[in-house]
Amino acid sequence: MKKGKMRLVVKVGSSSLAASSGGVDPQKMSLLVSAVSQLRDAGHQVVLVSSGAVASGYQKLGYKQRPRTLAAKQAAAAIGQSLLMQTYTQLFGAHQCSVAQILLTRSDFSHRERYQHAFQTLSLLLDKNILPIINENDTVSVAELTFGDNDMLGALVAGLVHADLYMILTDTNGLYDKDPRYNSDAQRIAWLPEVTDEIENLAGGASQLGTGGMRSKLIAARTAQGLGIPSFIGKLDQSSDLLEVLTGDGNGTYVNYSPEAPALSGLPTRKQWIALHSPTRGSITIDQGAAEAILEQRRSLLLAGVRDVNGTFNQGEVIEVYCEGELIGRGVSRFAAEDLTDSLGTKATRRSGTVIHRDQWTQTI
Ligand SMILES: Nc1ncnc2c1ncn2[C@@H]1O[C@H](COP(=O)(O)OP(=O)(O)O)[C@@H](O)[C@H]1O
Ligand SMILES: N[C@@H](CCC(=O)OP(=O)(O)O)C(=O)O
């Protein structure tokens, strides 16, 4: 982990902000605000990704528990989001900290220009020492276009701002080898070198107020891992806890983290967009030799290795690249689909040209 001042993304779940019967819980929020303020007072830059809009708002709609229909959740979020921001503004104000609200949708990431605007806005706020507080724009997000949940939104934001560490705060102190709610003998796993399929399968569903459960936190930590960002999943009990996370003494599970070693520099923003957000309209299949050249020898993809072309795409658009049925990465094509297809009729050795330059290529994350 990098020494000195760090850029941190802290994601906090509904269960750590709202009362179990719904509505904002000022005590829980005070604890979070004190803990984040301690990070800032120590000179670190923080971006807060805050859930809790639905959980804070549904009571005022007359519901006894978290509603299930989309319209009710969206209406609850509209109410709860303003209650959350009102409370954050007040509580952070007492620590001489100004806050800014940013509501994002999945399509803000897939439109390259909006993605760049989000990056510029966040950078400026951080430069001016303002605390950005991000949530999904629930009222306009439709099921197919959501981030899945805020754990993933937090991982994508961590990538966008090139965070040194992604902290996921929840009601449980990390990952257990089985769901601790139903297994009293469950053991906590404090350090994970990486998230694998096997690890993902250890985790179960959500709490009464949350959405994705531990599994979605692991999937998000895996995405952060692919972006070169270590994660911490844990519970906040005292306001000094987040500073302790930075020294390796956090009460939770660390993923891909070393208190001594520097974090990887992270995938450049342009490549993150290609890897995780860009829309694709087609794909190509390449042979083994070409796959080896781009994956092992880090070369550009040449025309001679292309075996098949699918879909309709133009020059300059992002395409998926498959080898033996497996998706191996994505990149910006220098050819339109039509021209690639035409070239397939020519003997491979006679085909020349770069299809995807290595600077515009990203391996599957
Ligand atoms: N293997 C596991 N280890 C730890 N927690 C687990 C596990 N499986 C399921 N969980 C549950 O995941 C819940 C946290 O997820 P969630 O409710 O989505 O939280 P949040 O609202 O903080 O995002 C915890 O209440 C915990 O009981
Ligand atoms: N955007 C939603 C949060 C969705 C979500 O992922 O919740 P959680 O599992 O508590 O982090 C809200 O503010 O209610």
16 lines ligand 1 (CB under 6 A): yes
Q: Is residue 32 part of a domain?
A: yes
Q: Is residue 319 part of a domain?
A: yes
* Least confident window among 134-138, 261-265, 269-273: 261-265
Q: Is residue 275 part of a domain?
A: no
Q: Is residue 38 part of a domain?
A: yes
pLDDT in tens, 19-38: 999 999 999 999 999 999 99
165 lines ligand 2 (CB under 6 A): no
CA-216 nearest atom, ligand 2: 9
User: Among residues 187, 221, 255, which one ends one of the domains?
Assistant: 255
More confident residue, 294 or 106: 294
CA distance linking residue 136 with residue 156, whole number of Å: 12
| 150 — pLDDT class (breaks 50, 70, 90) | very high
| 261 — pLDDT class (breaks 50, 70, 90) | low
Based on the fold, state whether residues 110 and 221 are members of the same structural domain.
yes
Find the 181 Cα to ligand 1 centroid distance in Å: 9
More confident residue, 365 or 86: 86
- The mean per-residue pLDDT over the stretch 88-115 comes to 95
Based on the fold, state whether residues 167 and 304 are members of the same structural domain.
no
Q: Is residue 245 part of a domain?
A: yes
Protein residue closest via CA to atom 2 of ligand 2: 51
Q: For ligand 2, pick from 150, 156, 216 the residue to mutate: most ligand atoms within 8 Å of CB.
A: 150
- The mean per-residue pLDDT over the stretch 93-107 comes to 96
Domain with 66, as residue range(s), is 7-255
Give me the pLDDT at residue 269, please.
85
ipTM of the complex: 0.93
Per-residue pLDDT for 260 more than 70?
no
Q: Is residue 274 part of a domain?
A: no
For the chain, the average pLDDT equals 91
Find the 265 Cα to ligand 2 centroid distance in Å: 29
Q: Is residue 128 part of a domain?
A: yes
Q: Which residues are part of a known binding site for ATP?
A: 11, 170-171, 211-217
Helices (H), the chain: 26-41, 53-57, 70-93, 106-110, 112-127, 150-160, 197-200, 213-226, 241-246, 269-272, 288-295, 337-343
The enclosing domain of 342 has a CATH number of 2.30.130.10
User: Among residues 255, 271, 306, which one ends one of the domains?
Assistant: 255
175 lines ligand 1 (CB under 6 A): yes
Token pair 């760049």 is found at 116
Protein residue closest via CA to atom 20 of ligand 1: 13
Based on the fold, state whether residues 203 and 314 are members of the same structural domain.
no
Per-residue pLDDT for 113 more than 60?
yes
Give me the pLDDT at residue 151, please.
94
Ligand nearest 148 Cα, by number? 2
Please classify residue 149 by burial: count the beta carbons closer than 10 Å to its beta carbon, then call 0-12 exposed, 13-18 middle and 19+ buried: buried
| 144 — pLDDT class (breaks 50, 70, 90) | low
| 75 — pLDDT class (breaks 50, 70, 90) | very high
Q: Is residue 273 part of a domain?
A: no
